[in-house]
Amino acid sequence: MDKSRLRQAIIARLTAELETQTQAALTSREEATHEESKPENKYDMHAQEAAYLAEGQARLAAELADSIKLYQSLELPAFAPDQPVDLGAIITLETAGRKVRYFLGPRNGGLELTLDDTEITVITPQSPLGRQLVGLRQGELLNTPKAPRAQLQRIFSIE
DSSP reduced 3-state for 95 = strand
CATH class label, 90-158: alpha beta
Give me the pLDDT at residue 81, please.
79
Give me the pLDDT at residue 150, please.
55
**Integer Cα distance of 156 and 104 in angstroms:** 15
Residue 117: partners with Cβ closer than 8 Å, 6 or more residues away: none
Mean pLDDT, range 124-149, rounded to an integer: 84
Residue type at 109? G
pLDDT in tens, 68-109: 999 999 999 999 878 999 999 999 999 878 899 999 999 999
Residue 45 has pLDDT above 60, yes or no: yes
Give me the pLDDT at residue 142, please.
86
Give me the pLDDT at residue 52, please.
80
Mean pLDDT, range 7-26, rounded to an integer: 93
Q: What is the mean pLDDT of the chain?
A: 86
Mean pLDDT, range 20-25, rounded to an integer: 88
**E strand or H helix at 29, and its extent?**
helix 3-33
Q: What residues does 72 pair with on adjacent strands? A: none
